[in-house]
Amino acid sequence: MKITRTIRVMLLLAALCAAGFVAAADDPVSWGQLSEQQQKVLERFQGRWENLTPTQQQRFANGSARWLTMDPEQKAQAQNRFRRWSEFNPEQKKQLRTQFGRYQQMPPEQQARVRRNFRRFQDLPPERRRQLRDRWQEMTPEQRQSFRDQRTIRQKKNHDKPPPRNGRD
């Protein structure tokens, strides 16, 4: 699986959770509680709405509310992400959920570092991203872990340095 897909899905899920769109509520949402616009978005689920778990109902209700606030470009991006998610096999989905769980357990500063690194990666030219992905995929698990360890050490050293004094000593 490509690393960028993994990171994109993780960030999407993180953003949804942070925004409160993935609810863990136990209270069911009745079909009548949805706005007319939400019902229209979710009309294919109407016949089985009562058979959904309360958590599923909450997720669909929150997701449809979010959908209604999106501009056309955001909707196209979301549809693309949903399509890509549906193309993952069950093992890939399980792996992504596990990785997202790890992401959620990270301290906020580490999550921020993951997001910064993701943005930096996305800003690279497509050819450079492909080269980095290929290089990562060619690494053994041991080489990948060594890379992570070295990177963590470098980041700690940079983090532990005192801030610059604006040219004054």
Alpha carbon distance 22, 146 (integer Å): 35
Domain ranges of the chain: 3-123
Q: What is the pTM of this model?
A: 0.53
**Residue partners of 129: CB distance under 8 A and separation at least 6:** 4, 121, 122
Question: What's the chain's Rg over C-alpha atoms?
Answer: 20
pLDDT single digits (tens) 25-51: 568 999 999 999 999 999 999 999 999
pLDDT single digits (tens) 47-83: 999 999 999 999 999 999 999 999 999 999 999 998 9
Q: Residue 22: its pLDDT value, please?
A: 46
Amino acid at 159: H
